[in-house]
């Protein structure tokens, strides 16, 4: 059994919010010369928030640095999974510069004050919860007679988003598996709760809308020193994974199987930025909400996800997408 601890990416390989040809990004593949039309002053080092926290937002205004490319020689960005989204080529478009996941670097975030983020219905005792092995991940959906799980407030203005599914990303070992990284640090797993904007009437109408989706991301981490016992709240999911080992199999589980999310939601703030879904065709329609406080799980609980099988009968050892370039986007820390 492989044992590894949380590792930190060397400083020279951190993604930053600086110009792509700067020394901090010298590791990036060269694909033509870049130049910047305009840019914001970088925040002070070693601070979670910056002096830009006085910015006022009517409805959350995503201000982005404008980057232009003199040569259209962007490399193809290969995906790692298939999904329920419309069938398209498993590559990112040359024009897609707002891709996810990213590295969240505290030195480059902008601190802002936003209205409270309100989540309701996610851990209700009513109705039922369905766990299914899709062949590429484990997916959770809520159903039955229960109030819809929704999210509002924060960067969403007057919009309300309804939960569609919760999926999980993991790697072949406990030291890497989450899609987003925090200050260059990887986590064991990442849970992603996908919500769609009720203003558009249906999930299918949200893929081409910049504010079509809202995804809440939760880090899951195995702690080895000291060894961590199983998380009893997360066990409501992992204790049932042996029922859905084969792809396409589903099982009904405890209605409040998402109650472990509460721990992460109790943090004083969260990161938010504009990005994409992390599966083909990588639509750039997502407002990401990332809670930095990891939820503790055991080695056994993480190993259970790797025991799930795909359509070829092999274990799904990993299903996470690599970190993408920031490309001048701004990342905010909301409190």
* Higher pLDDT among residues 71 and 48, named by residue: 48
DSSP 3-state of 61? coil
The three-class DSSP label of residue 126 is coil
Q: How far apart (Å, rounded) are the C-alpha atoms in residues 258 and 298?
A: 17
| Per-residue tokens: 122 | 């996610």
Categorize the per-residue pLDDT at 182 as very low, low, confident or very high, splitting at 50, 70 and 90.
Answer: very high
- How far CA 97 is from CA of 5, 65, 145, 283, in Å, comes to 32, 12, 41, 11
Asked if residue 289 has pLDDT above 70, the reply is yes
Mean pLDDT (the chain) is: 79
Residue 225 banded pLDDT, cuts 50, 70, 90: low
Q: Which range (5-9, 207-211, 216-220) has the least confidence? A: 5-9
Average pLDDT over every residue of 165-194? 97
Taking residues 31-49, what's their average pLDDT? 37
CATH class as words, domain 14-334: alpha beta
Split at pLDDT 50, 70, 90, the class of 10 is very low
Mean pLDDT of 65-91: 35
What pLDDT score does 112 carry? 96
* Calpha distance 269→267 (Å, rounded): 6
What's the average model confidence in pLDDT over 85-102? Answer: 64
Average pLDDT of span 209-238: 91
**Spatial CB neighbours of 206, under 8 Å, sequence gap ≥ 6:** 196, 197, 200, 212, 213, 285
* 36-45, 136-145, 182-191, 261-270: range with lowest mean pLDDT: 36-45
| Cα Rg, the chain, nearest whole Å | 20
pLDDT of residue 8: 43
Residue spans of the domains in the chain: they are 14-334
Binned at pLDDT 50, 70 and 90, residue 335 comes out as confident
In this prediction the pTM is: 0.74
pLDDT value, residue 223: 86
How large a percentage of the chain has pLDDT more than 90?
67
Q: How many CB atoms lie within 10 A of CB 141?
A: 14
CB 215 within 8 A of CB 179: no
Over range 273-298, report the average pLDDT.
97
Quick: pLDDT tens for 230-272: 999 999 999 999 999 999 999 999 999 999 999 898 888 999 9
Please choose, from the candidates 174, 40, 177, the residue with its C-alpha nearest in 3D space to the C-alpha of residue 109: 40
Q: What is the pLDDT of residues 96-154, one digit of tens each?
A: 899 999 999 999 999 999 999 999 999 999 999 999 999 999 999 999 999 999 999 99
Q: In this prediction, what percent of the chain has a pLDDT beyond 70? A: 71
- DSSP sequence for 176-241: B--SSEETTB--SEEEEEEEEEGGGSSGGGSTT-TTSEEEEEEEEEE-BTTBPPP-TTTHHHHTTG
Report the pLDDT averaged over residues 168-184. 96
Provide the pLDDT confidence category of residue 228 given band limits of 50, 70 and 90. Answer: confident
CB within 8 A of 108, min separation 6: which ones?
16, 17, 18, 42, 43, 331
């Amino acid at each position: 059994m492989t044992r590894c601890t949380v590792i930190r990416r060397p400083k020279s390989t951190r993604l930053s919010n600086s110009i792509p040809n700067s020394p901090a990004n010298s590791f990036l593949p060269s694909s033509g010369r870049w130049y910047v039309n305009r840019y914001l002053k970088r925040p002070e080092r070693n601070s979670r928030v910056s002096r830009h926290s006085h910015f006022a937002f009517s409805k959350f205004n995503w201000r982005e640095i404008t980057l232009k490319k003199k040569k259209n020689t962007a490399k193809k960005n290969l995906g790692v999974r298939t999904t329920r989204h419309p069938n398209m080529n498993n590559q990112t478009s040359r024009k897609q510069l707002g891709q996810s996941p990213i590295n969240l670097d505290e030195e480059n975030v902008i601190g802002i004050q936003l209205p409270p983020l309100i989540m309701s219905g996610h851990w209700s005792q009513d109705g039922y919860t369905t766990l299914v092995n899709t062949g590429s991940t484990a997916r959770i959906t809520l159903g039955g007679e229960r109030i819809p799980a929704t999210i509002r407030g924060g960067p969403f203005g007057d919009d309300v988003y309804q939960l569609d599914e919760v999926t999980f990303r993991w790697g072949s070992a406990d030291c890497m598996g989450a899609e987003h990284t925090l200050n260059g640090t990887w986590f064991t797993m990442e849970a992603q709760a996908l919500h769609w904007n009720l203003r558009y009437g249906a999930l299918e109408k949200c893929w081409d809308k910049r504010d079509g989706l809202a995804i809440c991301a939760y880090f899951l981490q195995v702690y080895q020193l000291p060894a961590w016992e199983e998380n009893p709240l997360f066990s409501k999911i992992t204790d049932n994974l042996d029922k859905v080992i084969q792809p396409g199999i589903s099982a009904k589980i405890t209605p409040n199987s998402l109650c472990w999310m509460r721990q992460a939601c109790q943090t004083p703030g969260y990161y938010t930025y504009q990005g994409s879904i992390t599966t083909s065709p990588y639509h750039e329609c997502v407002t990401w909400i990332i809670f930095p406080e990891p939820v503790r799980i055991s080695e056994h609980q993480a190993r259970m996800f790797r025991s799930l099988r795909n359509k070829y009968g092999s274990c799904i050892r990993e299903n996470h997408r690599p970190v993408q370039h920031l490309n001048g986007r701004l990342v905010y820390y909301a409190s």
